[in-house]
Chain A
């Protein structure tokens, strides 16, 4: 089992006009890493989840996510958008964006990793560190150490 996030899945300078674009850019990284097999199908699943209820959360967080048949293994892609992307949170755009890709019927140990990421997102220090981190490898390393 490979790591849920690696340096190539981190974009510390994400520029996106809207949430669809942000999701697509991060999804492209997952495709390049061979973790998502069909980008259109995957993004359709993401959009479906997003349409149920926006995934933006107070405190500048967006977490587009889904379970999808087009996901090969549980994966995270992290994007930092200093200009902000609207994810429908009540207090404004998100600058910390996690694209969470879970395979259909993923096993529990993988799901636990995603669960612990979700828990970390509530913690102020976790977010601070993500906002200040300087390079992708360091960000991926930090996220891995926090969630596993």
Chain B
């Protein structure tokens, strides 16, 4: 097997090199290939990126933070202090072999991801420009928050289905719980879901900060996010808290410290100082204006009626259709899903509109590929079958294989269909308390029949436009045949 390793120690004189030697010898003994980067005082020669790419697993034997660890993103990783590698190199090699067999860490699939802290991934490409990195930071936060939205939101939706909307006023399950009572179970689900929802903003802020400043930034991020909730600064407050925490940590990292202190910086000093700074700023400086902003936004959304509401639905629909699960789509989705925490009628309408608008792109394309087979390649027609299911499940990514092959015709069609559906859903006053689930949560939706109608109309609009645009001058043979169906399966 091929391994790469990084060794480092506080003084950078002895253990770094001993560990490197021990690992190399252990690999030589077992007939494996091993390349070690010694991050010590004799200067370190960075490993060739190709060697890293070829490696089956990565070993960190380090007492101080590994420099540029994002280079090892997504690789199976074994890590320990530097001394362990000196005495137990062979053992670590076995662990690395096991890690390689177990495959890459969870979340490591993100292509530009950076594994840190045992495989937590970020979606940040460190070489990119500021705008791209900012997007990466925000998307990292969103990607970690979505499971919370799903768990909390679906539990709450289920509790309404079981217990009716009065479940909101049910007594605390700690005070009263009856194993045989459906109402008690509904109340339990509602309250568990509510607790999961309470984490939305702190987790969002925490992982935005994490994407920027790695593990030490998690604490100021989560704490700052929680303060944002406390001061009623909401989702926007959380975004700001996360970015602020990340920036503070990056700033502290710039301060040169003696090597002897470097070891405790990420564990003690950075979390302590950054949390204090972020806490002060969030409570007394940024908190009040952000709270006023959040209150204004909520009032504005609640005050929207008639035409304005429809326009909001159309805009969100355009966003949902634009990049099919990309940043714009996720921005609209986050806006809706995180808004659910407010539990206002307006937030439920927005959620319904966004979900409907996210379903029509794959559905519309699936319909088009059935109606006019000759306009689509064989591969696209196969994708069309999957697209029915993906669209119905509110997995907008199902449209990607079609859009990738012919973006200029497909994307405008998707946006138009989604805009129509988003606007109609708002106009019909459909509401959704569930953040996800597509067709499967329709029974939980307010005005379900009109909701299905809105989705149907958007689907037809998209299909009609795609067929019309493709009919102009295009034969399926020109199309990119090789877009694999698996891309469609990229879940949100």
Residues of A within 8 A of B (CB): 48-49, 52-53, 55, 57-58, 63, 65-67, 90, 100, 102, 106, 108, 111-112, 114-123
Contacts and interface: CB of A to CB of B under 8 A. Distances in A.
A119 B86 contact: no
B17 A65 contact: no
B265 to A, nearest CB: 14
Interface stretch (B6-14, B414-422, B436-444): B6-14
B42 interface: yes
A115 B16 contact: yes
A111 B41 contact: yes
B40 interface: yes
Nearest to A56: B83
A122 B21 CA distance: 7
B43 A111 contact: yes
> Could you say which of A67, A106, A114, A122 has the most chain B C-beta atoms within 10 Å of its C-beta?
A122
Interface of B: 10-11, 13-18, 20-22, 25, 38, 40-43, 63, 83, 86-87, 259-260, 263
A118 B11 contact: no
Contacts of B63: 53
Given A48-B260, A53-B83, A118-B21, A111 B14 contact: no
Contacts of B18: 57, 118-119, 121-122
B14 to A, nearest CB: 4
Contact of B13 (A48, A115, A123): A115
Given A121-B18, A122-B25, A123-B21, A114 B87 contact: no
> Could you say which of A48, A53, A90, A115 has the most chain B C-beta atoms within 10 Å of its C-beta?
A115
Nearest to A101: B13
Contacts of A100: 13-14
> Could you say which of A57, A100, A106, A123 has the most chain B C-beta atoms within 10 Å of its C-beta?
A57
A115 B87 contact: no
Contacts of B42: 108, 111-112, 114-115
Contact of B22 (A49, A67, A106, A122): A122
A118 B87 contact: no
A120 to B, nearest CB: 8
A4 B107 CA distance: 48
A47 to B, nearest CB: 12
A48 B43 CA distance: 23
A138 B41 CA distance: 29
Nearest to A51: B260
A119 B42 CA distance: 13
A119 B21 contact: yes
A19 B83 CA distance: 19
A102 B13 contact: yes
A126 to B, nearest CB: 10
A49 B40 contact: no
Contact of B10 (A52, A63, A112): A52
Contacts of B87: 57-58, 90
B55 to A, nearest CB: 21
Given A52-B263, A57-B86, A57-B87, A65 B13 contact: yes
B260 A114 contact: no
15 contacts: A49-B11, A52-B260, A55-B14, A63-B14, A66-B11, A67-B259, A100-B14, A102-B11, A115-B13, A118-B21, A119-B20, A119-B21, A121-B18, A121-B21, A122-B22
Contact of A106 (B14, B41, B83, B86): B41
A69 to B, nearest CB: 12
Contacts of B43: 108, 111
A114 B15 CA distance: 11
